[in-house]
Amino acid sequence: MSLHAAYDPDNIFAKIIRGEMPCVKVYEDDDILSFMDIFPQTEGHCLVIPKAAGATNLLDAPAEMLGTVIAGTQRIARAVAASLKPDGVRIAQFNGAPAGQTVYHLHFHILPVYEGRAVAAHENAGPAATGELKALAEKIRAAL
Ligand code: AMP
């Protein structure tokens, strides 16, 4: 999808926000939702999204929305670091299909990185068992 495409209200993340599709939730408030990535590139890979519809990517998001989402991303990244004890944390964000974006609702990736363990390539990671994702989400939540 083009970098400047119109927002599609039926994208997967919009459906998750509306409760039309399930997710393994990490955190939710009035403005943001965080849930586990179902194709995790590392153990504990989760996503943070604004709950408001309309922003396809970082370029078309209002600055206030970005501020709220990045503050939430920091909070959840700190909980990921405290609970899963990775050696590093990668924050990733893609804009437009050629850059690697596959879901067109603004989101930030939180990827805990562990020394000596590979990070699967973006768009090339296998599905995770829901039970494992729930256990990881619970650990992260406990550190929020
Ligand atoms: P991006 O490629 O940056 O647009 O990231 C989209 C991410 O959403 C990918 O890492 C996918 O694995 C992930 N993803 C796709 N569908 C779902 C879903 N239903 N629940 C959780 N994560 C998803």
- Output the CA 63–ligand 1 centroid distance in Å: 23
Q: Are 113 and 86 in contact (CB under 8 A)?
A: yes
Q: Over the stretch 106-139, which tens digit does the pLDDT of each residue have? A: 999 999 999 999 999 998 899 999 999 999 999 9
Name the residue type at position 23.
C
Q: Residue 94 pLDDT more than 90?
A: yes
| Surface-to-core class of residue 125, CB atoms within 10 Å of its CB (0-12 exposed, 13-18 middle, 19+ buried) | middle
Q: Could you confirm whether 107 is annotated as catalytic?
A: yes
- Output the CA 109–ligand 1 centroid distance in Å: 9
Annotated active-site residue in 45, 107, 109, 122: 107
Encoded tokens for 19: 């409760």
For a mutational test of ligand 1's pocket, the pick from 17, 39, 111, 130, i.e. the residue with the most ligand atoms closer than 8 A to its C-beta, is 39
Rounded-to-integer distance, Cα 90 and Cα 111, Å: 5
- Output the CA 122–ligand 1 centroid distance in Å: 10
Rounded-to-integer distance, Cα 49 and Cα 35, Å: 9
Residue position matching structure tokens 């804009």: 95
Q: Match domain 12-142 to its CATH number in 3.30.428.10, 3.40.50.920, 3.40.50.1970, 3.40.50.1860.
A: 3.30.428.10
Q: Over the stretch 11-28, which tens digit does the pLDDT of each residue have? A: 999 999 999 999 999 999
Rounded-to-integer distance, Cα 80 and Cα 136, Å: 9
